[in-house]
Structure 1
Amino acid sequence: MSTAESPAGTESLAGKVALVTGASRGIGLAAAGALRDRGAQVVITSRSEDRAKEAARELGAGVTGFGAHATDEEAARACVEHTLATHGRLDILVNNAGTNPAYGPVIDQDHARFAKTMDVNLWAPILWTSLAVKAWMGEHGGAVVNTASIGGLSVAQDVGIYHVSKAALIHLTKQLALELGPKVRVNAVAPGIVRTRLAEALWQEHEGRVAGATPLGRIGEPGDIAEAVAFLAGDGARWITGETLVIDGGQLLAGGVLDNSPEQGS
Structure 2
Amino acid sequence: MTSAQARDGAVALVTGASRGIGLAVARSLAESGHRLVLTARAPDALAAAVAALRADGAQAVGCAGGVADSGRAQEGVALALREFGRLDVLVNNAATNAPYGPLMDADLTRWREAFTVNVEAALRLTQLAWRAWMSRHGGTVVNICTEGASHVGPNVGAYGTSKAALLHLTAQLAGELAPLVRVNSVSPGLVRTEMARFVWDGAEERLAASLPLGRIGEPQDVARAVAWLVSDAAEWVTGADLLVDGGTRVRAAAGTTAPHAVHERLRAAATDEA
TM-score (norm: length of structure 1): 0.92
Point out 4+ residue stretches in structure 1 off by more than 6 angstroms.
none
Partner of 1:6: none
User: Which residues in structure 2 correspond to 1:77-156 (within 5 Å)?
Assistant: 77-156=74-153
CA contact (8 A) 2:37 2:79 kept: no
Q: Secondary structure at the match of 2:187?
A: strand
1:76 equivalent in alignment to 2:73: yes
Partner of 1:23: 17
Partners of 2:109 and 2:158 lie apart in 1 by 12
Partners of 1:98 and 1:261 lie apart in 2 by 20
Q: Which runs of 5+ in 2 are unaligned?
A: 252-258, 268-274
Q: Which runs of 5+ in 1 are unaligned?
A: 1-10
Partner of 1:185: 182
1:48 equivalent in alignment to 2:42: yes
Q: Identity over the aligned pairs, expressed in percent?
A: 47
Partner of 2:263: 259
Residues 1:32 and 1:67: Cα distance change in structure 2 (over 3 Å): same
Partners of 1:106 and 1:215 lie apart in 2 by 31
More helix by share: 2
Q: Secondary structure at the match of 1:259?
A: helix
Partner of 2:242: 245
Q: Please say which of residues 54-63 and 219-228 is displaced more in the overlay.
A: 54-63
CA contact (8 A) 2:63 2:75 kept: no
Partners of 1:68 and 1:102 lie apart in 2 by 20
Q: Secondary structure at the match of 2:143?
A: strand
Letter in 1 for 2:260: G
1:206 equivalent in alignment to 2:203: yes
1:173 equivalent in alignment to 2:170: yes
Partner of 2:272: none
Partners of 2:98 and 2:231 lie apart in 1 by 33
1:156-184 deviation digits (Å, cap 9, x = unpaired) = 11111111011111111000101111111
User: How far 1:261 sits from its partner (Å)?
Assistant: 5.1
TM-score (norm: length of structure 2): 0.89
Q: Secondary structure at the match of 1:39?
A: coil
CA contact (8 A) 2:15 2:93 kept: yes
Letter in 2 for 1:57: A
User: How far 1:51 sits from its partner (Å)?
Assistant: 2.0
Partners of 1:122 and 1:163 lie apart in 2 by 11
CA contact (8 A) 1:24 1:52 kept: yes
Number of residue pairs matched by the alignment: 253
Supply the RMSD in Å over aligned alpha carbons: 1.4
Partner of 2:33: 39
Partners of 1:261 and 1:108 lie apart in 2 by 19
